[in-house]
């Protein structure tokens, strides 16, 4: 076999190995990937039933209701075009409040509601930790 043919075989084997590894990685991610939906996306595309997804938007003002057991809460997530009622059982993050951003991980129910297993509260881009905000005001380099 000529050296040219050996290089062609090696290049072909390398391409097959990369394609096989990519196929295995994609098939492993298929079950673990959680797609992100806004309430308006669900309204347009329909309910993605039976899959773990993320629902994101703003917590609608005045919609947070806590159940008598103290750990179950219901609220509404909105993106301005549609709303989705969400039920969550657990401890909400400290930043979770009305009119703030939230990403809920869980599944849609056939009635259109969403049952969350995890909540991620989002803060606005102006947020600074109190310690950092205090140190910025102490900076003497801005004085002349």
Nearest to 91, CA basis, from 63, 109, 114, 66: 66
Q: Residue 37, annotated ligand binder? A: no
Q: Residue 137, annotated ligand binder? A: no
CB atoms closer than 10 angstroms to residue 122:
16
The greatest distance separating any two alpha carbons of the chain, rounded to the nearest whole angstrom, comes to 80
Token duo for residue 82? 């549609």
Token duo for residue 107? 């599944």
For tokens 């079950």, the residue is: 31
For 88-110, b/e burial (b = at least 16 CB within 10 A) is beeebeeebeeeebbbbbbbbee
The Cα 102–Cα 56 span in angstroms is 6
Q: Which residues are annotated as a binding site for heme?
A: 123, 127
Q: Which residues are annotated as a binding site?
A: 123, 127
């Amino acid at each position: 076999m000529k050296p040219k043919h050996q290089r062609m075989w090696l290049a072909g084997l390398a391409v097959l190995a990369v394609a096989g590894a990519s196929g295995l990685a994609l098939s492993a991610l298929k079950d673990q990937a959680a797609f992100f939906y806004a309430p308006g996306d669900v309204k347009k595309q329909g309910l993605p039933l039976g899959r773990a997804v993320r629902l994101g938007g703003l917590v609608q003002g005045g919609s947070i209701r806590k159940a008598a057991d103290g750990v179950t809460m219901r609220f509404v997530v909105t993106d301005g075009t549609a709303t989705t009622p969400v039920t969550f059982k657990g401890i909400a993050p400290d930043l979770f409040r009305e009119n703030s951003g939230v990403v809920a991980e869980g599944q849609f129910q056939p009635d259109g509601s969403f049952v969350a297993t995890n909540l991620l509260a989002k803060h606005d881009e102006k947020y600074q930790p109190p310690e950092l905000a205090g140190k910025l005001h102490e900076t003497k380099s801005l004085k002349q």
